[in-house]
């Protein structure tokens, strides 16, 4: 049965059987319930036949396992199905043995709770007989021992941790001559640990009881330090007199006479195979705790509870390595932490501290601290309120450790993620630009081609029927559309040449006003818009083709994005180191969020004209031609509304 599955309601035959058993026991059901249901145990009655078929289950089963008594007794397999698989074989075997012998049953095992977790229980039961000695049922109880089991596991874990902390325990003390097998002294503990008397102990005996798997390495190390005079320290196995294998930790140092000549080895051998008694473990644990505190990379501290003082009672030496302030300064100056915490973090730290003091909840926070040299270190600070056995608060105990590298890594990760996000956004934008470009190029190519094809077919089919004016109009349309296609191809090729760095500037001294007037005339803008030219003579050494294209593209952009009848201003003006071209309109303008990307290839304004979408190349060429001339292009909002495009050009002016 899966965790949480409902158990069918109790059947009538179980209720009837229970009533019969209780009657033979000489008690009523209500009396029995009144007695057992007040106990801090889950009392039950089980039928003799079958495997743990419950006749009665006290209400305590529900808070213990999540099932009501009726659910539990309804199915004879309920108990079996809920025993932990790892315990089932052992417990079932014990239950069957008790069924056969009538001996009391006692087992500790795990039962599955309705929500799926397991509960440790102690179950004890014994056979109930009537006055004639006839077995009636099994009566027992279930006791939740989960807390005890957890405590036992924690105790075992604590003992294991203590054992790992143990480095040395004095056991057998010895001295022997340098580079000799002769032992001058062996303490009597050699008998208790290894079963040999001090008189029996010798270098030959020691070598003979070395474990075969350790002998070669042990003798090699022993010979090496005997020659070098370095301290000896090694763990190895030996055979005790009774055949037991004993692990030893052997440590010794070489003693020298006043002249520095080596005289003898003095050392100890520790038995590291036997468990230490509770008193010894406590003594070592206390010593090891202080060693761990003093050598831990974290700074441990204890703070007073006095709200007026709230000073540091103890700080481990690591506090200086982390914060730059010695432990003594932390203890002597109760306000030091207010000076050390970064000013930007102090309000949040004070608020969290007040909350912990008021509620008794643990304090945990990442905080910046400022060292005496001004450098900033990130620490994770955690503390808990320590209470005595009566529950009264005693002091705050905590630690903080340096997490600067972690924070830096997080910042680097955040930067990397931001770069990745930008890259993804850039790729998405490029993909959108590709779609826009393909759509626009398709339109820009198809429309002229369709017009050219239509005019050409008309000329072909009506060649003899057209008068000179019609023929001239059709031919002119073909030329105009072909020119548009040529300009589009040239724009794309120019953009690619600039991108590859293959574009070359052919500088000539030209009047920018002449280039502007030529662009105005070619644009036909005067037929649809109100033009306001301001074109004083500005002579500059530039590439006339590129600058002419700048004027063409800016005017084409103004025509495309402003309605007929709009005003367009075109101006040139002399600068100290070049010139500036300005084209403005009174249209809708360019939102600020689009201004930086408007000059990117294949970018278009937010209000693309559906009947003439363009390919987003014109302004890109404007920016790149300006860049080739040592200048730049940008767009602002025109005072009074509309867009204001600026192109700055650097170039030598002719001498006066």
Q: Domain of 425: which CATH number?
A: 1.10.287.130
Domain interval for residue 620: 504-650
- Give the chain's domain count: 5
Express as a percent the part of the chain with pLDDT over 70: 78
In terms of domains, do 421 and 318 share one? no
pLDDT at 93 over 70: yes
- pLDDT higher than 70, residue 287: no
Is residue 646 located within the same domain as residue 532?
yes
460 and 581 in a single domain? The answer is: no
* Domain's final residue, options 463, 479, 495: 479
Kindly state whether residues 564 and 588 are assigned to the same domain. Answer: yes
Over residues 83-99, mean pLDDT: 93
Retrieve residue 293's tokens.
Answer: 């505190």
- Highest-confidence segment of 47-61, 85-99, 122-136, 639-653: 85-99
Determine which of 141-155, 252-266, 481-495 has the lowest per-residue pLDDT on average. 481-495
509 and 621 in a single domain? The answer is: yes
| 544 pLDDT higher than 70 | yes
Same structural domain, 85 and 202: no
For the cut 80, the answer to whether the pLDDT of residue 321 exceeds it is yes
Q: What region does 372 belong to: left with phi over 0, alpha with psi -120 to 50, or beta?
A: alpha
Listed residue (338, 339, 336) closest to 353, CA to CA: 338
Q: What DSSP state is assigned to residue 334?
A: T
State the pLDDT at residue 304.
81
In this predicted structure, what is the pLDDT of residue 612? 44
| Pairing verdict, β 376-387 and 363-370 | antiparallel
pLDDT tens digits, 442-487: 555 666 776 677 777 777 677 667 777 777 777 777 776 676 667 6
CATH code, 589: 3.30.565.10
Is the domain of 254 the same as that of 193? yes
Q: Which of 144, 179, 199 is the last residue of a domain?
A: 144
- Mean pLDDT of the region 312-320: 84
Quick one: 80 and 140 in the same domain?
A: yes
Kind and range of the H or E run holding 573: strand 567-575
Is the domain of 17 the same as that of 138? yes
Asked if residue 111 belongs to a domain, the reply is: yes
d(CA 656, CA 238): 107
Q: Which residue, 372, 402, 432, sits at the end of a domain?
A: 402
Spatial distance between the Cα atoms of 637 and 32, rounded to a whole number of angstroms: 93
The mean of the pLDDT values for the chain is 81
In a domain, 281, yes or no: no
Q: What is the pLDDT of residue 274?
A: 66
Q: How far is CA 293 from the centre of its chain?
A: 28
Is the pLDDT confidence value at 128 over 90? no
Residue 396 pLDDT > 90, yes or no? no
Q: Give the pLDDT confidence score for residue 14 in this predicted structure.
A: 52
484, part of any domain: no
Based on the domain organization, do 124 and 233 belong to the same domain? no
Instruction: Give a yes or no: residue 485 inside a domain.
Output: no
Give the pLDDT of residue 603: 59
Q: What is the CATH number of the domain that holds 76?
A: 3.30.450.20
Q: Based on C-alpha coordinates, what's the Rg of the chain?
A: 48
Same domain membership, residue 140 and residue 17: yes
pLDDT the model gives residue 9: 42
Higher pLDDT, 432 or 311: 311
With respect to residue 17, please indicate whether it lies within any of the assigned structural domains: yes
Residue 282 lies in a domain: no
Q: What pairs with residue 46 in β-bridges? A: 54, 138
Q: Is residue 290 part of a domain?
A: no
Higher-confidence position of 462 and 223: 223
42: in domain: yes
pLDDT tens digits for range 239-263: 999 999 889 889 999 999 889 899 8
Question: Which token pair is 51?
Answer: 């495997």
Question: In this structure, what token pair is assigned to residue 32?
Answer: 């029995």
Are 328 and 418 in the same domain? no
Q: What pLDDT shows up at residue 156?
A: 87
């Amino acid at each position: 049965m899966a965790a949480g599955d409902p158990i069918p309601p109790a059947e009538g035959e179980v209720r009837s059987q229970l009533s019969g058993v209780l009657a033979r026991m000489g008690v009523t059901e209500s009396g029995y319930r009144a007695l057992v249901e007040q106990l801090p145990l889950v009392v039950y009655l089980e039928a003799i036949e079958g495997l743990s078929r419950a006749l009665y289950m006290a209400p305590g089963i529900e808070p213990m396992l999540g099932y009501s008594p009726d659910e539990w007794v309804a199915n004879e397999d309920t108990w079996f199905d809920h025993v932990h698989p790892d315990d089932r074989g052992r417990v079932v075997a014990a239950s069957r043995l008790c069924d056969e012998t009538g001996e009391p049953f006692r087992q500790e095992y795990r039962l599955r709770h309705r929500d799926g977790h397991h509960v440790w229980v102690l179950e004890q039961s014994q056979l109930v007989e009537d006055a004639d000695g006839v077995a009636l049922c099994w009566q027992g109880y279930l006791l939740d021992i989960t807390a005890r089991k957890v405590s036992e596991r924690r105790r075992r874990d604590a003992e294991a941790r203590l054992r790992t902390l143990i480095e040395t325990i004095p056991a057998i003390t010895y001295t022997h001559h340098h580079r000799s097998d002769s032992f001058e002294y062996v303490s009597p503990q050699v008998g208790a640990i290894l079963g040999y008397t001090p008189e029996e102990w010798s270098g030959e005996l020691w070598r003979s009881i070395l474990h075969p798997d350790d002998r070669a390495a042990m003798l090699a190390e022993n010979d090496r330090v005997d020659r070098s005079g370095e301290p000896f320290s090694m763990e190895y196995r030996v055979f005790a007199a009774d055949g037991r294998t004993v692990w030893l930790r052997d440590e010794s140092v070489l003693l020298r006479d006043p002249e520095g000549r080596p005289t003898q080895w003095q050392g100890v051998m520790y038995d590291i195979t036997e468990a230490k008694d509770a008193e010894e473990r406590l003594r070592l644990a206390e010593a090891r705790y202080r060693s761990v505190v003093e050598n831990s990379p974290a700074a441990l501290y204890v703070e007073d509870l006095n709200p007026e003082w709230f000073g540091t009672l103890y700080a481990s030496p690591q506090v200086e390595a982390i914060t730059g302030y010695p432990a003594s300064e932390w203890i002597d100056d109760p306000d030091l932490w207010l000076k050390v915490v970064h000013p930007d973090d102090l309000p949040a730290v004070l608020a969290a501290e007040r909350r912990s003091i008021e509620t008794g909840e643990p304090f945990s926070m990442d905080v910046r601290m400022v060292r005496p040299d001004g450098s900033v270190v990130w620490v994770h600070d955690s503390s808990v309120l320590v209470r005595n056995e009566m529950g009264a608060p005693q002091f705050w105990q905590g630690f903080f450790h340096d997490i600067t590298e972690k924070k830096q890594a997080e910042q680097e990760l955040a930067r990397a993620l931001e770069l990745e996000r930008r890259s993804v956004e850039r790729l998405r934008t490029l993909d959108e630009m590709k779609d826009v470009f393909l759509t626009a190029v398709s339109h820009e190519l198809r429309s002229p081609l369709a017009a050219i094809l239509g005019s050409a077919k008309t000329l072909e089919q009506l060649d003899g029927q057209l008068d000179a004016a019609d023929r001239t109009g059709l031919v002119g349309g073909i030329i105009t559309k072909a020119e548009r296609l040529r300009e589009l191809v040239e724009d794309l090729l120019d953009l690619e040449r600039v991108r590859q760095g293959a574009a070359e500037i052919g500088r000539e001294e030209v009047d920018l006003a002449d280039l502007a007037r030529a662009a105005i005339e070619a644009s036909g803008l005067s037929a649809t818009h109100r033009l306001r030219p301001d074109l004083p003579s500005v002579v500059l050494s530039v590439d006339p083709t590129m600058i002419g294209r700048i004027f063409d593209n800016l005017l084409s952009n103004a025509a495309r994005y402003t309605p007929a009848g709009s005003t367009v201003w075109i101006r040139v003006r002399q600068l100290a180191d070049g010139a500036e071209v300005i084209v403005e309109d009174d249209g809708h303008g360019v939102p600020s969020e689009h201004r930086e990307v408007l000059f990117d290839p294949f970018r278009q304004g937010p209000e693309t004209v559906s009947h003439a979408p363009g390919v987003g190349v014109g302004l890109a060429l404007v920016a790149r031609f300006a860049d080739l001339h040592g200048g730049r292009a940008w767009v602002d909002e025109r005072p009074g509304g509309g867009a204001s495009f600026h192109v700055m050009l650097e170039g030598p002016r002719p001498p006066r």
